[in-house]
A and B are shown apart, each in its own frame.
Chain A
Amino acid sequence: EDQVTQSPEALRLQEGESSSLNCSYTVSGLRGLFWYRQDPGKGPEFLFTLYSAGEEKEKERLKATLTKKESFLHITAPKPEDSATYLCAVQQGYGGSQGNLIFGKGTKLSVKP
Chain B
Amino acid sequence: DTGVSQDPRHKITKRGQNVTFRCDPISEHNRLYWYRQTLGQGPEFLTYFQNEAQLEKSRLLSDRFSAERPKGSFSTLEIQRTEQGDSAMYLCASSSPFRGRPTYEQYFGPGTRLTVT
Residues of A within 8 A of B (CB): 4, 31-32, 34, 36, 41-46, 49, 51, 87, 89, 91, 93, 97-106
Contacts and interface: CB of A to CB of B under 8 A. Distances in A.
Contact of B45 (A46, A49, A97, A105): A97
Interface residues of B, number: 28
A100 B103 contact: no
Contacts of B6: 43
Given A89-B42, A105-B41, 18 more contacts: A31-B102, A32-B101, A41-B113, A43-B93, A43-B108, A43-B109, A49-B101, A87-B42, A89-B43, A97-B45, A97-B56, A98-B55, A99-B31, A99-B50, A99-B56, A103-B42, A103-B43, A105-B40
B117 interface: no
Interface of B: 4, 6, 31, 33, 40-45, 48, 50, 55-56, 58, 91, 93, 101-103, 105-111, 113
29 contacts: A4-B42, A32-B101, A32-B103, A34-B106, A41-B111, A42-B110, A42-B111, A43-B4, A43-B93, A44-B43, A44-B108, A46-B106, A46-B108, A51-B102, A87-B42, A87-B43, A89-B42, A91-B103, A97-B56, A98-B55, A99-B31, A99-B50, A100-B33, A100-B48, A102-B45, A103-B43, A103-B44, A105-B41, A106-B42
